[in-house]
Amino acid sequence: MYSDEVPQKPVMARDLAPFNAELAAVRDHVQSGSLRLDPEAGERIRAMLSKQMDEVDGWLERARGLTQRPPLGLNPVGETVAGTYESRAGGEDDTSFIAVFASYRQSLQDTDDTVREAVQRYHEADDRNAERFKKFAQ
């Protein structure tokens, strides 16, 4: 590492917690009906989310392929390095590739679900308003 480089901490699945908390707040506003989303804007957002989810699905597939223990020899160093490699790819902790990608994928899906519900709330409000206008027209 060069002296001007800042060491990076590993990305962890729990690093998405602040985003998920914000999403939960948005979801609460959507569910209460105080936040609705224009269908055209919602479809653009959902298309972007779908594209990103497809990409993450590819990352997950490749990460699953990395979970095979590499054949680095039957010696202590080879076994240690192979175990580390295997653990980083698909281990149980929240720093493995699979854990981070799966958590990110779930956050994207939750965002998509929230956008879909916000669009649905828009349609419901629009239908209610149309019914009110029909009553006035009669």
Give the three-class secondary structure for 110. Answer: helix
Query: d(Cα 71, Cα 81) in Å, to the nearest integer?
Result: 10
Mean pLDDT of 109-117: 96
Instruction: State the pTM of this model.
Output: 0.75
Lowest mean pLDDT, pick from 5-14, 48-57, 95-104? 5-14
Q: What is the pLDDT of residues 29-79, one digit of tens each?
A: 999 989 899 999 999 999 999 999 999 999 999 888 877 777 777 888 878
Which residues fall within 8 angstroms of residue 35, CB to CB, at 6 or more apart?
Answer: 26, 29, 118, 121
Look over the chain and give the mean of its residue pLDDT values, rounded to a whole number.
84
